[in-house]
Amino acid sequence: MEENELAFTSNDQPTVAYTDDNIRHLSDMEHVRTRPGMYIGRLGDGTHAEDGIYVLLKEVIDNSIDEFKMQAGKKIEINVEENLRVSVRDYGRGIPQGKLIEAVSVLNTGGKYDSKAFKKSVGLNGVGVKAVNALSSQFEVRSYRDGKVRIATFAKGELLTDRTENTDEENGTYIFFEPDNTLFLNYSFKPEYIETMLRNYTYLNTGLAIIYNGHRILSRNGLVDLLNDNMTATGLYPIVHLKGEDIEIAFTHTSQYGEEYYSFVNGQHTTQGGTHQSAFKEHIARTIKEFYNKNMDYTDIRNGLVAAIAVNVEEPIFESQTKTKLGSTNMAPGGVTVNKYVGDFIKIEVDNFLHRNPDVADVMLQKIQESEKERKAIAGVTKLARERAKKANLHNRKLRDCRVHLNDPKRKGSTENLEEESCIFITEGDSASGSITKSRDVNTQAVFSLRGKPLNSFGLTKKVVYENEEFNLLQAALNIEDGLDGLRYNKVIVATDADVDGMHIRLLMITFFLQFFPDLIKKGHVYILQTPLFRVRNKKKTIYCYSEEERVSAIEELSPNPEITRFKGLGEISPDEFKHFIGKDMRLEQVTLRKTDAVKELLEFYMGKNTMERQNFIIDNLVIEEDLA
């Protein structure tokens, strides 16, 4: 028998022979391309802010930011051509030219291992820009240093050209890359995601100017600008802004429910928080409680709090390559724990501020007392609701859970990033939930079934969350009663029929989240599932259409006389077909919340008690069918 032929076991089951030929060594670039998830998390097509193409961009920019932090270069120029190709030019020191090739193509190679050169850098593992090189169909790096420029080009990590020329350009580094479209299928950069990323960089690096496609982005007031640009509710008092050598915080209270945090480490937006954010939450509440010397509950102190914290630490340890959650505990300045470093700063600075600003202290106290009054008023309801949620057969009757969850301590340090894929579908009725349940990926997709239309929660207090069984059980399923730290799913997907009733349920669910858990939307966790309206097919091909335009195009493609089916509800779609709509090609529309959205006014108009005003609006804007002829 040849070495690579099938062998047979004693029970006649075939098995593949295991020989020397099965042992392979992958080069650095081959390994990145073979296992991209280990280096950038998910791939994706750019539809979502966490997709890999944005990680590639971030890895390049991080290096330029590190130059700014080392006081080398105050400007970064970023250009994105046709939402496909990116160039980044900084005016720092330039990569040392003798090691330029190794710096962009050999893993575990870089200047950041020397903490004297890069004391507080984001990228310390010598991986980032190498992954960009490996995962790009075209990659070019130029190092400008002292009148010389060395230029190297690559394709999928393989060196193509390398030359050195004279130049009169300023020192710095230029990197161009085009993500490999055989990996990032049908990808496209979304300008709004890029601009949000770049604004975050400027908030954390006051004085840095980023020129994005000719548009200048900068911040003069750091985290104060961040909160002012992102708050969707008015602050009850002017934003408190406190800075130390390696720490900066900003906060205020608003009238909204819940808590809202923006946290950063060495300029990196830690969207999932970490030790620094946890320390802030703990110590801000403790310090305020001690200042008033009253028996306050931490949840009352933090209710309505909107805050940002940024720290700089040496050699930060993140829980994944995508650096969205800080895991460091003993890397703060002075060698103390992150918790102690943050706590000591808040204890001194916040306490001093409140003593010096009694007007702010009075407003804060009034807000905390209002939160306490409401909490105590519903304490009995809350206790009973929690007991009902525990006793209810939640995981069978209402929730078909998945195996992998966000913020699961058992998966800490996992390189599979499956928790990022975890999602829960909120469906209407048993038929729709049944179809999704039979089609889903049981590892990452859960299903929560609504019974009838949810209550219109606009204008109601949080008491309704506990009194209403549907809301109470949904809150328990998501595990968000005490904030987003325990959120079990990365995506909360509202999956309703594409009809008037389905649209109404969508609106009711979004109203619920906006009222009581606005941060769930602001942090990008809420989505609407797009399902096809039509199926157009003949004997050779089936096309699913999500709009009237797609239906017309499909009919033209499959003519003559294809079979056309109009889906009226999710329950009409068979489980076998549903697999196409919630798999790798799932279409999701993210629900966003920005300061300019005028949420209060929109909810008041569409969900308030202005029945006649809304009725007149509908009549005035009604499209008569004859007009469409």
The CATH number covering residue 178 comes to 3.30.565.10
- Six token digits for residue 199: 């604004």
- Based on the fold, state whether residues 50 and 144 are members of the same structural domain: yes
Instruction: Tell me what pLDDT residue 384 has.
Output: 85
Whether residue 582 is found in the same domain as residue 470: yes
Cut 0.85: pTM above it: no
The residue-averaged pLDDT of 169-173 equals 95
| Spatial distance between the Cα atoms of 526 and 419, rounded to a whole number of angstroms | 16
Residue 596: which pLDDT band, with cuts at 50, 70 and 90?
Answer: low
Residues 205 and 230 in one domain: no
If pLDDT is split at 50, 70 and 90, which confidence band does 177 have?
A: very high
For residues 610-624, average pLDDT: 67
Residue 455 DSSP code = P
Q: Is residue 628 part of a domain?
A: no
DSSP 240-253: EEEE-SSEEEEEEE
Can you tell me the mean pLDDT for 137-163?
A: 95
Residue 615: Cβ within 10 Å count:
10
Q: What is the pLDDT of residue 113?
A: 44
pLDDT at 622: 64
Percent of the chain with pLDDT over 90: 47
DSSP 57-118: HHHHHHHHHHHHHTT--SEEEEEEETTTEEEEEE-SS---GGGHHHHHHSTT--GGGSTTT-
Predicted pLDDT of residue 334 = 65
- In a shared domain, residues 576 and 511: yes
Is residue 81 situated within a structural domain? yes
Q: Please indicate, yes or no, if residue 146 is contained in any of the structural domains.
A: yes
End-of-domain residue from the set 354, 377, 400: 377
User: Per mean pLDDT, which range of 165-179, 321-335, 530-544 is the poorest?
Assistant: 321-335
> Does one domain contain both 486 and 585?
yes
Query: Which H helix or E strand runs over 491?
Result: strand 491-495
Q: In this model, does residue 331 exceed pLDDT 60?
A: no
pLDDT of residue 509: 93
- pLDDT the model gives residue 593: 82
pLDDT reported for residue 338: 87
Q: Tell me: the pLDDT tens digits for 482-529?
A: 888 889 999 999 998 877 888 889 999 999 999 899 989 988 899 999
For residue 555, tell me if it sits in a domain.
yes
> Residue 428 is part of a domain; what is its CATH number?
3.40.50.670
- pLDDT, mean of residues 550-563: 90
203 and 258 part of one domain: no
Residue 507 covered by a domain: yes
Answer yes or no: do 78 and 63 share one domain. Answer: yes
Query: Residue 420's pLDDT is what?
Result: 77
Total domain count for the chain?
Answer: 4
Tell me, yes or no, whether 189 and 269 share the same domain. Answer: no
Choose the final residue of a domain: 377, 408, 432.
377
Give residue 628's pLDDT band: very low, low, confident or very high (50, 70, 90): very low
The residues, ordered by sequence, that sit 6+ positions from 246 with a Cβ below 8 Å of its Cβ are 120, 311, 312, 313, 332, 333
pLDDT tens per residue, range 254-310: 999 989 999 998 878 888 888 899 999 999 999 999 999 999 999 999 999 999 999
Q: Using 50, 70 and 90 to split pLDDT, how confident is the model at 627?
A: very low
Residue 315 lies inside a defined structural domain of this protein: yes
Looking at residues 151-158, what average pLDDT do you find? 94
- Say what percent of the chain tops pLDDT 70: 82
Residues 170 and 41 in one domain: yes
Q: What integer is the mean pLDDT of 202-229?
A: 94
Q: Check whether 179 has a pLDDT greater than 60.
A: yes
In this predicted structure, what is the pLDDT of residue 7? 47
**Alpha-carbon dihedral of residues 362, 364, 367, 371, nearest 10 degrees?**
-120
pLDDT over threshold 50, residue 1: no
The reported pLDDT for the residue numbered 451 is 84
Interval 80-138: pLDDT, tens: 999 999 999 999 999 999 999 998 988 755 555 454 444 555 554 446 889 999 999 99
Beta strands in 203-304 (DSSP E): 209-212, 215-217, 240-243, 247-253, 260-265, 268-269
In a domain, 341, yes or no: yes
390: containing domain = 379-531+569-620
- Residues 507, 420 within the same domain: yes
Digit-coded pLDDT (tens) for 441-488: 999 999 999 888 888 888 888 899 988 988 999 999 999 988 888 899
Query: Domain for residue 240, yes or no?
Result: yes
Could you give the C-alpha distances from 398 to 90, 424, 433, 442, in angstroms and in order? 53, 12, 10, 16
Structure tokens at 567: 């889906």
| Same domain (yes/no): 194, 291 | no
CA distance 73 to 210: 11
Q: Which residue has the higher pLDDT, 268 or 606?
A: 268
Top pLDDT among 6 and 37 is at 37
Residue 237 scores a pLDDT above 50: yes
Shared-domain flag, residues 423 and 364: no
Q: What is the pLDDT of residue 385?
A: 84
